[in-house]
Structure 1
Amino acid sequence: MLRLKLNTLLGKQSLHKILRSLTVLGIETSCDDTGAAIVDDTGQVLAQEIHSQQQMTIRLGGVIPPIARRLHEENIERVVTATIESSNIPVEQLDGIACTVKPGMPLSLLVGLKYARELVRRAKNVPFLPVHHMQAHALTVRMVDRVAFPFLVFLLSGGHCLLAIVKDVEDFMLLGESIDTSPGEAYDKVARRLKLKNLPECDGMSGGESVERVARRGDPHKFVDRYPATMSKYRDCNFSFSGMKTTTMRLIEREEEKHGIVGDGILPNVCDVAAAFQLSVGRHLLKRLQRCLVFIDYNDLLPKHNRTLVLSGGVACNSFIRQVIGQLCDHHEYDLVCPPPQLCTDNGVMVAWNGMEKLKVGKGIASDPELVDIEPKCSIGPSMIRKVQEANIQVPRFKIDLTKFS
């Protein structure tokens, strides 16, 4: 009788949805991986599938947009269907369908959005939740660690590098970003030029993984003095990796000529070159982050009793980068929180969770999915970069303790 009365009172909203946890399906196609996942409101992953294009990307030397689109189109139906079937939740009984619509590669984004629209039409009354890719990366940590708002997020990936204050689910304040290439792209280009894929230990690895692997055996001090301080005259929190990439390419060229390396040959000191490049990246990241932390202090942007830095994104999986940032956080008395590596790379889980965060607070729900469009380029939130520049903050050099990596 009670169930009958509740069904009558709720109308179209089923009793089933009231008596169970909320569930959201997430679809991710912003770059070269086709991902889907269903999560509940406790952060439990009920099902997930992913089709990775990593091996294709390694063979081609980078992501080729038309090829990435074709592979998304070939795999999205299988990936999403397998996720739904594995969860044992009919699409009509989901509480939300989330999809990445910005930023990203336009051809790839369109595949996901088109499929998500069709899925919403089939599901009829299920809300559609457009997702910002970088905001999703920032909030994924809250699946496993209930980090309270506001907090500082440092996103390092193959497409982005940025610092932002996360004030709420959709309220972000940009403090710094890369003005040219991303750290992930720099790692990939250096790995390709060093021909690391020819090393058995690096077989099947991404560029970033390969550089980190060989750098562990290298001495960064043999070449790090070849790297000038990047953007030392610019007192902001922006990043630039183009110069480091160029410096490394020239260094490799000189060393190959010196050692008579041709074709697919590998430098005998390849580990030292990789280590010097990685240390240069680490120093640059710390310098900009250090200024950011001081700016936050000056402007009371985070509560002094609860200062948290969330480090996320694919490059954040790099253990060297995590450890050097951890050293700076200890110095400034910040808690460093890193999502598990499997949640740092692009996947459907982060998209589903971002949709869940929005659903729970009633924000970001599209009134008409057909009116939603992709945005290949967009900021994570309003920019405070000019104010950082105007503050003209000079910070001392923070010395990385390399003995902890021996």
Structure 2
Amino acid sequence: MLILNKTAGVFSKPSKRNMYEFLRSFNFHPGKLFLHKLVLGIETSCDDTAAAVVDETGNVLGEAIHSQTEVHLKTGGIIPPVAQQLHRENIQRIVQEALSASKVSPSELSAIATTIKPGLALSLGVGLSFSLQLVDQLKKPFIPIHHMEAHALTIRLTNKVEFPFLVLLISGGHCLLALVRGVSDFLLLGKSLDIAPGDMLDKMIMQKEKEEGIEKGQILSSAADIAAAVQHTVACHIAKRTHRAILFCKQRDLLCQSNAVLVVSGGVASNLYIRKALEIVTNATQCTLLCPPPRLCTDNGIMIAWNGVERLRAGLGILHSTEGIRYEPKCPLGADISKEVGEAAIKVPQLKMKI
């Protein structure tokens, strides 16, 4: 694996020896003819090492993922150097498993797509360095992927959704609302001002555990009450902000007046209580609520490969030279018009949240 230079995001020249041995391990015999373009997606933005091969029609040919959750639970959170080392130990195996499952040889790939922003710097570096070696050996185009854009566009893999549509991305590390006008055309309507919902819950629980002197294996006496209260408060808050975003977009003719689509993705999107709160909003605003399957809401290689397919078809962000490419731990999603949304001072009608 490559060693990072002192300047964050810049890599030394790829070493070919290990990658050459890796590529030699594929001994697929000719037989299946692939009529569609194939993209390998690689994801290492946080604590999941994932890879997948997807064709341009949206067929998932193979995927693999290694979760670090069990390790990080023991340390009480993600420690970046630990996450980096686990990515290094597993990335070659995960990519190999995804390719083997797809019955695709590396030479048959049309492009390689990899998350390079935003995320944990050390984690992003592992995925990018491995991808650069692979691209260098195979002489294939490289497609840099924005992690949040990939989450937003995943719905187009599972449903026929046309642009524009509204997307709510909610997870342990992110909470934002954006208008998706194209494959790489996003307007940021709003985001969390401090921490994301999942992060908030973690911090609150740790504080309560200290207050009650909870030891490992014990449960908070107020766990049920906290869960119910927090869930309802978060759901209502997110629903109200989403309602305002819908009204703003319709007021500015950024969305259709009827049958507009709201997509909800990210790990927290699997929460059915929050989904029901959002359904109340979409029913009141003549919108359709769509969510990817739970396994595609969390980090995965499929969404990265699919974003690569979308960009390949649109001819956007396809690099034939990787010189100067670097990862970006912090990177905004699209053009930020959240100030404009606030200045519009839209009054949101009160809805009965009977969930």
The bucket for the TM-score relative to the shorter chain is 0.7 to 0.9
Alpha-carbon distance in 1 for matches of 2:227, 2:102: 43
Q: Does 1:318 align with 2:271?
A: yes
Out of 287, 290, 295, the position equivalent to 2:243 is: 290
Out of 336, 344, 349, the position equivalent to 1:383 is: 336
1:150 is displaced (CA, Å) by 0.5
Out of 268, 277, 280, the position equivalent to 1:327 is: 280
Q: Residues 205-216 of structure 1 correspond to what in structure 2 (within 5 A)?
A: none
Which residue number in structure 2 is paired with residue 340 of structure 1? 293
Corresponding letter in the other structure for 2:219? I
Contact 2:54 2:61 in 1 (8 A): yes
Alpha-carbon distance in 1 for matches of 2:32, 2:207: 54
- Per-residue deviation, residues 315-340 of structure 1 (Å, max 9, x unmatched): 11111111111111111111000000
Which residue number in structure 1 is paired with residue 159 of structure 2? 145
Which residue number in structure 1 is paired with residue 16 of structure 2? none
Alpha-carbon distance in 2 for matches of 1:135, 1:54: 24
Alpha-carbon distance in 1 for matches of 2:90, 2:45: 14
Alpha-carbon distance in 1 for matches of 2:112, 2:220: 49
Which residue number in structure 2 is paired with residue 93 of structure 1? 108
Which residue number in structure 2 is paired with residue 47 of structure 1? 62
Alpha-carbon distance in 1 for matches of 2:255, 2:142: 32
Which residue number in structure 1 is paired with residue 83 of structure 2? 68
Out of 106, 116, 133, the position equivalent to 2:131 is: 116
Corresponding letter in the other structure for 2:88? E
Which residue number in structure 2 is paired with residue 181 of structure 1? 195
1:342 is displaced (CA, Å) by 0.5
1:193 is displaced (CA, Å) by 4.9
Change (3 A) 1:359 1:393: same
- Per-residue deviation, residues 205-260 of structure 1 (Å, max 9, x unmatched): xxxxxxxxxxxxxxxxxxxxxxxxxxxxxxxxxxxxxxxxxxxxxxx94xx4xxxx
3-state SS, counterpart of residue 158 of structure 1: coil
3-state SS, counterpart of residue 271 of structure 1: helix
Contact 1:33 1:52 in 2 (8 A): yes
Contact 2:258 2:286 in 1 (8 A): no
Corresponding letter in the other structure for 2:147? H
Change (3 A) 1:160 1:43: same
Q: Does 1:132 align with 2:146?
A: yes
Alpha-carbon distance in 1 for matches of 2:103, 2:39: 13
Alpha-carbon distance in 1 for matches of 2:352, 2:258: 26
Which residue number in structure 1 is paired with residue 96 of structure 2? 81
Q: Residues 182-197 of structure 1 correspond to what in structure 2 (within 5 A)?
A: 182-193=196-207
Could you tell me the TM-score, scaled by structure 1's length?
Answer: 0.76
3-state SS, counterpart of residue 156 of structure 2: helix
Contact 1:194 1:270 in 2 (8 A): no
Which residue number in structure 2 is paired with residue 159 of structure 1? 173
Between the two proteins, the alignment pairs up a number of residues equal to 324
Alpha-carbon distance in 2 for matches of 1:47, 1:60: 32
1:191 is displaced (CA, Å) by 4.5
Which residue number in structure 1 is paired with residue 6 of structure 2? none
Alpha-carbon distance in 2 for matches of 1:22, 1:90: 13
- Per-residue deviation, residues 23-67 of structure 1 (Å, max 9, x unmatched): 100000000110000011121111111110111121111111010
Change (3 A) 1:384 1:44: same
Q: Considering only CA atoms, is the larger Rg found in Structure 1 or Structure 2?
A: 1
Q: Alpha carbon RMSD of aligned pairs, Å? A: 1.9
Q: Residues 1-20 of structure 1 correspond to what in structure 2 (within 5 A)?
A: 20=35
Alpha-carbon distance in 2 for matches of 1:279, 1:194: 19
Q: Residues 363-402 of structure 1 correspond to what in structure 2 (within 5 A)?
A: 363-402=316-355
1:188 is displaced (CA, Å) by 2.8
Corresponding letter in the other structure for 1:173? L
Could you tell me the TM-score, scaled by structure 2's length?
Answer: 0.87
Q: Residues 218-297 of structure 1 correspond to what in structure 2 (within 5 A)?
A: 253=211, 256=212, 263-264=215-216, 265-297=218-250
3-state SS, counterpart of residue 370 of structure 1: coil
1:81 is displaced (CA, Å) by 1.3
Corresponding letter in the other structure for 1:297? K
Contact 2:250 2:256 in 1 (8 A): no
Q: In structure 1, list runs of 5 or more residues that go unmatched.
A: 1-15, 196-251
Change (3 A) 1:86 1:263: closer
Corresponding letter in the other structure for 2:335? P
Change (3 A) 1:82 1:308: same
